[in-house]
Amino acid sequence: MVSPGPIPLNPCDYLYFTHHELQLKKSQPGNIAFMVFDVAGDIDAEKLIRALAGVFQLHPALLAGLKISLTKGRPYWKVQAVDATASEAAARKACRRVDLRNERDAPAAFLRLIEVHLGEAWPLSAGPKMRIDHALMPGGTSRFAILWPHLFTDAEGAQWFLTQLSRQLAENSPDQADDYPEGLTGDQRPIDVLDGYGLSHRVSLFRRGLGLQKQHGGLKVKQVLDGAAKPGNVCRLIHREWGGDALLKIQQNAKKWTPPGPALYARFLGACVFRALHRIYQREGVETEAYLMPLPLSVLAMSQEGDVQRERPLLGNYLVSPVLCATREIVEDRAALASELSRQLIEYRRSRAHLMQWAMVWMAAKMRSGVYRWVLKRPMGFEKLASGFSYYGEISDPLRLLGGFKVTNLWGSGPMPVPPGWNPVFSRFADKLNLGLTYCSPTVSDELARSYAGAIEEEILAS
């Protein structure tokens, strides 16, 4: 069990926290992430609440409030002791159940439900940090969504949360859950990614990292939108999934057009998104020299042996993000585009740019919260991005059962502020590939977002 006490936000969490606060001040959707999963059965509501209460007792950081240190001026989670009564009360607060069995289009109704919840106020000063929507669906199945502030954890951490929930449902007793599965550490041991690096080496990495901010500075890039957020923006969702013959076709295309090597599917899907963006820009009559797009990666997975620990806590974001670039000329040549993206990622890892980026957020995390917000208000490169983009796979202990029922799919996404205003997130689950596209409406129109999703699908399934 985790003892009470403060848990500092790691450097990546601190960046997300500051960015989240700035988005809210601009009346844009906050950085709330979500993950949707389908279950081939209906889990009893009381049983789910008891299981969630067990997870809260095992991970009391889920009930912690975010505080700002008066002396250092930096955020931390204030973890307090959690007894059975408090954890059950929090679980009842976190669980929301709705019956969609009589809806004409139940999947669409569920997406609209998530959209509403993404726009709700999310107080960071108190828990719980995970909320669960549980919908009864036609055919005796269930659809769930977990929602959380992105600053609390990343997609990998969210999957570990679901693994813990599955274990609780299987054991049916919070008292029995007193350990962590392999690959997950206690929450009070945030990983120091730069462990073993002295101060001078960290400062050197930081200085070299500043050069990464300038690598695309000479390009004249334009947004497909006017770049200004319209009042009243809300987050809207589009979901696509592919399995069977469609997934086989995607796998064949990835191997056909993408050079072999690590992150093959991420590189292939990234190339398809670039080509889809090019088509949207052409349709809208917007010319740009190049398209820029981030690719969030796990710094733990990228680091070489000995750089960092392999196990991670449930809470915390351990992400770095190379900014991929595709020029207008190269994006029309599939083979050349795939080779160029491969070259960029190879160079990113060869130069240990992931450690440079982590050194930059480590240095920034030394700032007081108010100073950090002031710094992020300055142009930081976000305004040059043509789109968000992510791809993630499954953890080492993937979710397969929940409450004795088979989990048939899992996917997720999160809002991207304006600019660029939309964020395609691919995720792999068992024999399915999913796309969750979020977009800021009305800045991004429904018709434009559908066109973008359609262009992406055509690219990944192209013959």
Structure tokens at 254: 């990835």
Q: What pLDDT, on a 0 to 100 scale, did the predictor assign at position 175? A: 52
How confident is the model over 373-393, as pLDDT tens digits? 999 887 665 678 999 999 999
Dihedral sign for Cα atoms in the order 210, 415, 421, 458: positive
Q: What pLDDT, on a 0 to 100 scale, did the predictor assign at position 269? A: 97
Greatest Cα pair distance, the chain, in angstroms, is 63
| 300-327 exposure pattern, b = at least 16 Cβ within 10 A, e = fewer | bebbeeebbeeebbbbbbbbbbbbbbbb
Residue 125: other Cβ atoms inside 10 A:
10
Residue 178: other Cβ atoms inside 10 A:
9
* Segment 391-409 mean pLDDT: 94
Q: Are 355 and 322 in contact (CB under 8 A)?
A: no
The one-letter amino acid code at 408 reads T
How confident is the model over 14-73, as pLDDT tens digits? 999 999 999 888 887 789 999 999 999 999 999 999 999 999 999 999 999 999 999 999
DSSP string, 130-160: -EEEEEE-GGG-EEEEEEEETTTB-HHHHHH
How confident is the model over 348-372, as pLDDT tens digits? 999 999 999 999 999 999 999 999 9
Structure tokens at 125: 């000063």
Dihedral sign for Cα atoms in the order 424, 429, 433, 434: negative
Q: What pLDDT, on a 0 to 100 scale, did the predictor assign at position 463? A: 85
DSSP string, 210-264: HHHTTTTTTS----SS-SPPPTT-EEEEEEEEEEHHHHHHHHHHHHHHS-SSTTH
DSSP state of 10: P
